[in-house]
Structure 1
Amino acid sequence: MRKKHEIWCPVFVDHYTAGNDGVCSIVPKMKFIQDKDVSTIISEPCNYLDWFENKVIANTRVGVKFANYQPMVKEKDFQGTKKEFWDKINHLKTIKPTVQDVNEIGNVKIASSFYSGNKVYYIDTDWNVIGECGERISSVNEFSDTKSSDFYVSSSSFGAIIESGDSLFLLNGLGLNKMNEDFANYRVFPRAKFYSNHLHVIKDDCLSIKIFKINQNEKFTYNINEVLRT
């Protein structure tokens, strides 16, 4: 399992860290972070975090969990003074999320999950990729001998990037394809207006940048405008 996974979620103005100690949120009240700014929202070890709208999704050692937050108020829609708006925002930040477990959909046991645009996909214990209603969409049974704690999925507008062992794979409408990349680390930009079709692969001696053409009709791809904040 990765030692730590971090995301920044501008909707809640939180920074999240995940690892063997679970999932912690950090909401600094001042310039420097203090112990009181850090709170544990999920206690089980976690190897994947992502967010969409008012939900944070976490793949933990005991299954998939959603942390559901109160929706944030947009200043343009708020009826009141600027001070009242920020008082409301600060109040919403103090409300802890409710945590929802997703262990099964129908009779199908869930092993992990990932966001793709505004959709959530799940991977069941038979290594099928299924939709939110339990419909089978694809298969990744090539990883059937892999421990779920050593299997990571990152969403991107051109498909799902899967890390397993020392290899990277791309899952899209063409199926599952191994990418011939030696890497020390990598990054995708699922919500970047101008870089959502980029895969940046950090190697020992260079940075490799791959730019993909997006077919929005393919599986596991999406229009970046679906997830940009307005």
Structure 2
Amino acid sequence: MAEININIAGDFIDSFIYSGVLFTVDTNGILCSYSWRNLVDSYFRLYTNHSKFHNKILDCREGNNSKIEQNITIVFEKKFLEKNQKGTCCDLDVWNTDLDVKDNILYISSERGLVSLPFLEEWDNGKVMKFNQLIPLWKEAKVFGLSTGSWGRTILAAGDNGALEIMNNGVEQLQKIGFHKNKEKIIDSNICLDCEWSSNSTLAILDGLNSKAMYMFDSIDSDSRFKKNNNSNQNKITEDDIKKIASILNKETAKDISKNEIQHSWFEGSRLYAVDSNNKSFYFKSGSWVEAKGWELNESDAVLKLKNITAGKFIETESDELFRVANGKKELLSEDFTSWRVFPRSKSYQDRIHVVKDEYLQVKIFNI
């Protein structure tokens, strides 16, 4: 299975890409933004080899899918990054444990809790040239992982403190309906080390030490039409709409839908899948679990982490191996990585994975 590898030189610990902006955090706790388009455009102005993949490297939207026939490696050296950054940097003064971005707000978790970095006004056609001041959202304990959802809601994997839901009262949708909530809500009191919310923020996966839990949340209207720049739907918002949403947010419940002996779970779009100790696959539909077919792994696979995007399933094993499973084939991607990330909520980056290695960040791009 052929792929494009873009090796970005640096001592990184994490990365994220959102709306054309590449965010990185290095081993000194320095957060930087880069214009992904400017990096790619600048590279192909210097080197014309593989230029037919120019648009594909930018994103995976329709029309950008030139087929990769053989492995390709592209290198962005440090001097090249500095010269063509079109971005900015700031010192976090801490190593982050996770990153997420929602509605032009960067969320950063660490041993100090959770902070946000809004860039709604600063985003300019895939560039963020200025960082605002970090805003503390929760600082009661270390946060190991986070997942942002609609209406300013964020799930925190807070270790011994369990899984919590907090609200970022600063998001424009909450301000538009005049709602705020300052107290966090405990979703699950068991140890929680990672979490993931479904694309529509109605289902969540919580990862513990040796167990997984899955929760179903109250259904709520999309917050997209409550954004300031969405003028087309402003006249459709009624006082009853606002009261209904505020009531759900205020009384929101989370129901434990965990299935016994679940070994792995993941989202495909908004659908929740799980595999039990007998290697049987299930998906959650209309309030119950339904047996499914097509589980690609075998009983000997000791899965530590599993994520799904259009390019396939990406699986980290307990033996520190990273695999891609696509079209019935299993491919070893790396045995020497620090961390990795895919972007299941993004329509533009369904064809790639970010893999952090000792001396560079590797962006792997696949055919889809």
Aligned to 2:267: 115
Contact 2:167-2:181 within 8 A present in 1 as well: no
1:89 to 1:115, Cα distance in 2 relative to 1, 3 A: same
Deviations 1:160-219 (A, max 9, x none): 1111232211122223332135211111111212212111111121111111111xxxxx
Aligned-pair Cα RMSD in Å: 3.1
Contact 2:199-2:345 within 8 A present in 1 as well: no
Is 1:186 the counterpart of 2:350 in the alignment?
no
Aligned to 1:137: 294
Aligned to 2:146: 6
Which one is further off, 119-128 or 182-191? 119-128
1:93 to 1:143, Cα distance in 2 relative to 1, 3 A: farther
Matching residue within 341, 344, 358 for 1:204: 358
> Whole-Å Cα distance in 1 between the matches of residues 298 and 158 of structure 2?
26
Contact 1:15-1:26 within 8 A present in 2 as well: yes
Matches within 5 A, 1:36-185: 36-46=182-192, 47-61=194-208, 62-72=211-221, 75=225, 76=233, 79-81=236-238, 85-104=241-260, 109-132=261-284, 133-141=290-298, 143-144=300-301, 146=302, 151-165=304-318, 166-185=320-339
Contact 2:265-2:275 within 8 A present in 1 as well: yes
Identity across aligned pairs (percent)?
A: 20
Runs of at least 5 residues in structure 2 that lack an aligned partner in the other structure: 1-97, 99-142, 172-179, 226-232, 285-289
Relative contact order: is structure 1 or structure 2 higher (C-alpha 8 Å, sep ≥ 6)?
Answer: 2
Contact 2:280-2:291 within 8 A present in 1 as well: no
1:71 to 1:191, Cα distance in 2 relative to 1, 3 A: same
* TM-score scaled by length of structure 1: 0.72
Matches within 5 A, 1:211-230: 211-214=365-368
* TM-score scaled by length of structure 2: 0.48
Give secondary structure in 2 for the equivalent of 1:134.
strand
Deviations 1:8-53 (A, max 9, x none): 11x232122114232111103358xx99342211222233423132
Give secondary structure in 2 for the equivalent of 1:93.
helix
Which one is further off, 204-213 or 19-28? 19-28
Contact 1:200-1:209 within 8 A present in 2 as well: yes
**Larger strand proportion of the pair:** 1
> Whole-Å Cα distance in 1 between the matches of residues 265 and 197 of structure 2?
10
Deviations 1:119-155 (A, max 9, x none): 32211113344444213322423545x4x7xx11112
Segments of 4+ in structure 1 off by > 6 A?
Answer: none
> Whole-Å Cα distance in 1 between the matches of residues 235 and 291 of structure 2?
38
1:78 to 1:168, Cα distance in 2 relative to 1, 3 A: farther
1:176 to 1:129, Cα distance in 2 relative to 1, 3 A: farther
